[in-house]
């Protein structure tokens, strides 16, 4: 049986690590990895294959830096012939990127089963491309692997029952495996207490007013509490374009192990990333999310994660840092999601 794994963005590469490892232990499975090239920067892509021992992609389509419709259309045109040529029996897709939707449409056109890892998430904001990508992918999929009870319930609300299951979160599998690995960071970086921050979402960085407000707040906080920010290439470009000045401690994009090291030793997290919100919970860190909505609703319900507007970052930080929180609930499974996913795929295909 030939399984195609379709990835394109940093979080998807990380998520595929434990599943690819499991696939390669099944004698009857052969994995073909198709990298769309959606994240094209070396530090946003290749470094993860190297440090996490993920097999190098069989195909790299190098599709990036074009608009939403053009990107998905070009990906479909290039993925579909590969699925035919490689005689693919099932397609694994992850999350909610353009690569996820393009892989799903390509498979559906060829009547190939789709296995969606991280299914059922909803922010309930249809203006977000990611929301539409995940909804469409869920409705096309044969097996839907949900990381949380909320995700399962979201699918039930949309009458998606067949193939939907609570698998737990593969990111928790990855966190447990790699969080104790030694990083290669400069020792001086973590000498004093610090807050870990990441900002990269379009709705924040494509507005000069929003991004300036975010950094005004971070600069104010940085006077009393050190802020460390691994800088996304798109954010760096916008900072330069808007002429924003900041005193926070910037690093380049980091590999997964270095990022986990910063996370595990920080005081708190400020982010607009989807994945880092969860990883903060794994590491028992409070998280301030600079967004109007989040797909990780259970974190809001547990009050370990607080949504805030750019102008409220400093005030919200002061509120959250002094709040007592409980991280004891097992919201995302037991760290064995990847094993359950592979067992379910085997049962489905055989």
Percent of the chain with pLDDT over 90: 89
State how far the Cα of 293 lies from the Cα of 291, in Å rounded to an integer.
6
Q: Is pLDDT above 80 for 46?
A: no
Q: Could you tell me if 237 and 203 are in contact, meaning their C-beta atoms sit under 8 angstroms apart? A: no
Q: Could you tell me if 167 and 18 are in contact, meaning their C-beta atoms sit under 8 angstroms apart? A: no
Q: What is the pLDDT of residue 129?
A: 93
Tokens of 3: 């399984």
Per-residue pLDDT of 97-123, as tens digits, reads: 999 999 999 999 999 999 999 999 999
State how far the Cα of 66 lies from the Cα of 75, in Å rounded to an integer.
11
Q: What is the pLDDT of residue 122?
A: 97
Mean pLDDT across the stretch 302-318? Answer: 96
Q: What is the pLDDT of residue 184?
A: 83
Enumerate the active-site residues.
Answer: 200
Per-residue pLDDT of 249-295, as tens digits, reads: 999 889 999 999 999 999 999 999 999 999 999 999 999 999 999 99
Tokens of 36: 């769309």
Q: Is pLDDT above 80 for 45?
A: no
Q: Could you tell me if 14 and 278 are in contact, meaning their C-beta atoms sit under 8 angstroms apart? A: no
Q: Could you tell me if 59 and 85 are in contact, meaning their C-beta atoms sit under 8 angstroms apart? A: no
Residue with tokens 């270095």: 258
State how far the Cα of 89 lies from the Cα of 345, in Å rounded to an integer.
11
Per-residue pLDDT of 185-221, as tens digits, reads: 988 898 899 999 999 999 999 999 999 999 999 999 9
Kindly report the CA angle at 56 between 52 and 44, in degrees rounded to 5?
Answer: 60
Mean pLDDT across the stretch 225-242? Answer: 95
Q: Is pLDDT above 80 for 313?
A: yes
Closest CA to 288 of 269, 302, 260, 262: 269
Q: Could you tell me if 156 and 230 are in contact, meaning their C-beta atoms sit under 8 angstroms apart? A: no
Q: What is the pLDDT of residue 43?
A: 57
Mean pLDDT of the chain: 95
Sign for the CA dihedral angle at 8, 10, 12, 14 comes to: positive
Greatest Cα pair distance in the chain: 60
Distances, alpha carbon 47 to alpha carbons 13, 52, 203, in Å: 10, 8, 27
CA dihedral 194, 195, 201, 206 (to 10 degrees): -70
Q: What is the pLDDT of residue 237?
A: 95
């Amino acid at each position: 049986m030939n399984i195609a794994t379709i990835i394109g963005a940093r979080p998807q590469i990380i998520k595929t690590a434990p599943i690819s490892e499991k696939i390669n232990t099944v004698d009857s499975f052969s994995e073909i990895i198709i990298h769309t090239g959606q994240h094209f920067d070396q530090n946003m892509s290749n470094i993860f294959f190297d440090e996490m021992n993920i097999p190098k992609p069989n195909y790299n389509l190098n599709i990036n830096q074009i608009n939403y419709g053009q990107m998905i259309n070009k990906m479909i045109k290039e993925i579909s012939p590969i699925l035919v040529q490689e005689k693919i029996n099932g397609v694994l897709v992850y999350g909610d990127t353009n690569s996820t939707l393009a892989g799903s449409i390509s498979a559906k056109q060829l009547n190939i089963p789709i296995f969606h890892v991280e299914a059922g998430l909803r922010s309930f904001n249809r203006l977000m491309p990611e929301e539409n990508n995940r909804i469409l992918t869920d409705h096309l999929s044969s097996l839907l692997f949900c990381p949380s009870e909320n995700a399962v319930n979201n699918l039930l609300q949309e009458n998606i029952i067949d193939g939907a299951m609570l698998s737990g979160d593969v990111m928790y599998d990855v966190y447990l495996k790699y969080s104790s690995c030694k990083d290669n960071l400069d020792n001086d970086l973590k000498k004093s207490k610090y807050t870990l921050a990441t900002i990269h979402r379009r709705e924040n960085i494509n507005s000069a007013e929003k991004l300036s407000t975010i950094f005004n707040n971070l600069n104010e906080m940085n006077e009393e509490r050190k802020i460390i920010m691994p800088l996304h290439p798109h954010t760096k470009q916008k900072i330069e374009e808007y002429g924003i000045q900041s005193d926070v401690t910037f690093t380049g994009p980091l590999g997964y192990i270095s990022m986990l090291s910063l996370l595990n030793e920080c005081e708190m997290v400020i982010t607009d990333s989807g994945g880092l919100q969860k990883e903060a919970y794994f590491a028992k860190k409070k998280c301030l999310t600079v967004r109007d909505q989040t797909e990780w609703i259970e974190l809001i319900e547990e009050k370990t994660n607080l949504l805030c507007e750019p102008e409220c970052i400093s005030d919200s930080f002061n509120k959250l840092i002094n709040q007592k929180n409980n991280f004891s609930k097992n919201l995302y499974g037991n760290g064995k999601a990847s094993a359950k996913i592979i067992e379910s795929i085997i049962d489905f295909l055989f």
